[in-house]
Amino acid sequence: MLFPERLHQFTKEHADALAALACGLFLFCGWFALHLGFLGWALLLLPIAYVIGGYESAREGLTTLIKEKELDVDLLMIVAALGAAGLGLWRREYYLIIDGAILILIFAISGALEGYAMQRTERSIRSLMSLTQDTARVVRRGNEEVIPIKQLQVGDEIIVKPGELIPTDAVIVEGYSTLNQAAITGESLPVEKTVGDEVFAGTLNGYGALKLKLHQPPESSLIQRVIRLVQQAQTETPPSQQFIERFERGYARVIVIAGILLLILPPFLWNWDWETAIYRALTFLVVASPCALMAAIMPTLLSGIANGARQGILFKNGAQLEMIGKVRAIAFDKTGTLTTGLLEVCEVIPTSEYTKADVLKAAASVESRSEHPLGLAIVKAAKNLDWQAATEVQAFPGQGIVGMIDNQEVLAGKNDFVKKYVANLPKNLIEIATNLELQGKTVVWIAEKRWGDGELGAPTTEREWGLGAMGRWGGGEIERWGERFHPTIPLTQHQVLGIIAIADTVRSQAAETMSRLKKLGIEQIVMLTGDNQKTAESVAQELGVDRVYAELLPEDKLHVIRRLQQEYKTVAMVGDGINDAPALAQASVGIAMGTAGSDVALETADIVLMADRLEKIEVAIRLGKRTQAIVKQNITIALGFIILLLIGNFLGEINLPIGVVGHEGSTVLVTLSGLRLLKN
């Protein structure tokens, strides 16, 4: 990018801050010129400060006045500043022009800071769109064609190769594979899909090639619905923001009307002269201007944001720092949030004849040839053991895997798969496996073929054994390949080595965090997940979660959040995946796990836990509650000063300079009060 383009982009992104900086510079130069007695230069520089610092506020204020017939704080601020300048010129008390410029400068700085704090990125939709393919491979007239997604029609057949993203929602008509649906449903394990099953756009195909048939228009796909839900939830103005806008306009209207009445009525009611009435009315506009009220909120929120950033908590919206202190219910996504999102071996149970190391080594030998997530978890668990990779490995999709190690056959797989090789599984292991599965864990059985002694000795190669109809070793009678073996003597048998339990492990700090949140006053803790009910209930029981909603799609999570908001008003949602984006956007406060979180979750959420530490949620809530308390204190101080100054002005006990000093003093005081949040 060329320098002029970079400069243009920089000025566009930081226009408010640059305007405030220029306003301050011209204000200082004007004050310095006035101090040195160069009145002409002062009267040239100070109006420039007014124009630069007050242009945006004046434009917004006049736009609101003309289009909406409403007065707001922006216009009131300009009127107060111009009133001070006009009075200074009239009475030749030119320092009043500086007072007006200071008012504008303070408001310009506040607007710039608010713009930085409140700015919400629009990259979330672009991040969602990156999950969808631009093209699809379609079979037409017997040939494969690559066409844009928008040209797909219901009934088209689509080819998806291993490792590719599913381009749009469709139904499998040919093939078998496992799909990683974590981006859509949040399921921690890849899901096996075969003919007749529906697949979703944005999910990742595994090892098998698939032929799909389009059963609905591409714009009706699940990922497109997620995009629309995020857009809708983000554009809804929260009630708190509506209240703030109404308050600002109501306050400005009252002050302007009161200023006009103070200008007109006293000469008739109390025989004030018109000069005094005008002077008191202008002083009223200055002391009643809401700078202190504005400073009561934004510096406090910005200090809290800085505090949170130092602790690994990114508040993307200043209002949400205050909002999180009001949260009464929190909904957690399970996979990647309450759990690590990574499969790990959690238990190894051998039979009495073997050790845990024996089971792990045998399993790792065959699973090292597999790309299945369960196999990767087993290999990782056995990384410190001495084992060799199996040969002649054959995978049975959805069932298990078989391989040869030193002329011995080892197999790993599901219960039903192992039963084909082992006549009677150990009863104690069956009971243990059943309990583990009820806890939401996946159980892998490990067995090994033991060579027996035939009439003329054991065979030396696989080819000398007969292959059964299923392509595996048989027991009992075998098909004879030569005269060396008696056809009726059982030469081999399979024996179970043990079982391995694999699960998406719960975060170590999750249970303690749930307990602390309840002590902090959170009334309801809810878990939302796309996983099955058994797994969800197992995790919920371990953590002490109040409610569980399982087998949810993204739009289902959104509906749950809406129901919780009806019951508890202020609800936080904690998630990390694309599937959480609509719920994060709908929640009163959306919290994303930063390191593991998807781009769209991070961009949609109001708060990001950069270190992926759940205990930071408690820190964020405590910071929010402290922010609430300081904001209330600051508002009380600001209103107190305004009331005292107004009374003094009405009684004639203060002049305009004292009013400005009181006004600026209260602003500085509440600003310093807000900076207390910089301390942990």
State whether residue 581 is helix, strand or coil: helix
- 105 contact partners, CB below 8 Å, separation of at least 6: 20, 23, 24, 27, 49, 53
Cα–Cα dist 265/284, whole Å:
14
Q: Give the neighbor-by-neighbor strand order of the sheet with 524-528.
A: 313-315, 607-609, 589-593, 571-575, 329-333, 524-528, 547-549
With vertex at residue 563, the alpha carbon angle to CA 559 and CA 567, rounded to the nearest 5 degrees, is: 165
Within 428-468, strands assigned E span: 442-451
Q: Which residues of 653-663 are buried (b: 16+ CB within 10 A; e: fewer)?
A: ebebeebbebb
Residue 432 and residue 475 in contact, taking contact as beta carbons nearer than 8 Å: no
Q: Rounded to the nearest 5 degrees, what angle is found at the Cα of 545, between the Cα atoms of 544 and 548?
A: 140
Query: What's the DSSP call for residue 466?
Result: P
For residue 490, which of 449, 448, 446 has the smallest C-alpha distance? 449
**Type of residue at 391:** T
CB 193 within 8 A of CB 207: no
Residue 130: DSSP 8-state: T
- Evaluated on CA atoms 640, 646, 652, 657, the torsion sign reads positive
Please pick, among 72, 169, 333, 606, the residue that the annotation labels catalytic.
333
Backbone angles phi, psi at 174, to 5 degrees: -160, 135
Measure the CA–CA gap between 563 and 385, rounded to whole angstroms.
51
Residues near 366 by Cβ (< 8 Å), separated by ≥ 6?
390, 393, 401, 402, 403, 405, 410, 411, 412
Q: Which two tokens stand for residue 610?
A: 């950069």
Neighbouring-strand partners of residue 140:
143
Going by C-alpha positions, the residue among 298, 301, 281, 287 that lies closest to residue 107 is: 298
Q: State the first-to-last Cα distance of the chain, in angstroms, to the nearest integer.
A: 41
Distance of CA 180 to the CA centre of its chain: 20
Helix (H, G, I), strand (E, B) or coil at 192: strand
| Secondary structure of residue 506 in the 3-state scheme | strand
Q: Cα separation of 126 and 284, whole Å?
A: 50
Q: What H or E segment, with its residue span, contains residue 401?
A: strand 400-405
Q: Name the strand (E) or helix (H) holding 171.
A: strand 170-174
Task: Please confirm, yes or no, whether 546 is among the known catalytic residues.
Answer: no
Residue 530 to residues 193, 220, 555, 609, 647, Cα–Cα distance (Å) = 16, 20, 11, 22, 62
DSSP reduced 3-state for 282: helix
- Sheet arrangement for strand 400-405: 339-350, 492-506, 442-451, 408-413, 400-405, 391-396
Rounded to whole angstroms, the Cα distance separating 659 from 285 reads: 10
Q: Give the pairing type, strands 170-174 and 210-213.
A: antiparallel
Secondary structure (3-state) at 507: coil
Active site residues: 333
